[in-house]
Structure 1
Amino acid sequence: MAEAFQFELVSPERLLVSEQVEAVVIPGAEGEMTVMAHHAPVMTTIKPGVVTVKTAGGKEERYVVFGGFADILPSGCTLLAESAVAVGDIDRADLARRIQDAKEDAADAKDDQSRSKAEQFLAQLTTLESALQAA
Structure 2
Amino acid sequence: MADFKLELVSPERLLLSEQVSEVVIPATEGEMTIMANHAPTMTTIKPGVITVKTASGETNRYVVFGGFADILPTGCTVLAESAVPVSEFDVALVERRIEAARAELDQPHHGDEHRTKIENFLSELTQLNETVSG
TM-score after normalising by structure 1: 0.96
User: How many residues get paired?
Assistant: 133
- Matched residue SS, 2:23: strand
Q: Please report how far the alpha carbon of residue 36 of structure 1 lies from its aligned counterpart in structure 2 after TM superposition.
A: 0.2
- Matched residue SS, 1:48: strand
Q: Please report how far the alpha carbon of residue 38 of structure 1 lies from its aligned counterpart in structure 2 after TM superposition.
A: 0.4
Between the two proteins, what is the percent identity of the paired residues?
Answer: 60
Q: Please report how far the alpha carbon of residue 123 of structure 1 lies from its aligned counterpart in structure 2 after TM superposition.
A: 0.1
Give RMSD over aligned pairs: 0.8
Residue range with higher mean Cα deviation, 60-69 or 88-97: 88-97
> Residue in 2 aligned with 1:119?
119
| CA distance, structure 2, for counterparts of residue 116 and residue 106 of structure 1 | 9
Which residue identity is paired with 1:118?
I
TM-score after normalising by structure 2: 0.97
> Residue in 1 aligned with 2:96?
97
- Matched residue SS, 1:85: strand
Q: Please report how far the alpha carbon of residue 95 of structure 1 lies from its aligned counterpart in structure 2 after TM superposition.
A: 1.1
| CA distance, structure 1, for counterparts of residue 32 and residue 85 of structure 2 | 19
| CA distance, structure 1, for counterparts of residue 61 and residue 18 of structure 2 | 14
Residue-by-residue CA offset, 1:39-98 (whole Å, 9 max, x unaligned): 000000000000000000000000000000000000100000000000011111111111
| CA distance, structure 2, for counterparts of residue 5 and residue 61 of structure 1 | 16
Q: Which runs of 5+ in 2 are unaligned?
A: none
Which residue identity is paired with 1:130?
E
Contact 1:20 1:55 in 2 (8 A): yes
Contact 1:106 1:116 in 2 (8 A): no
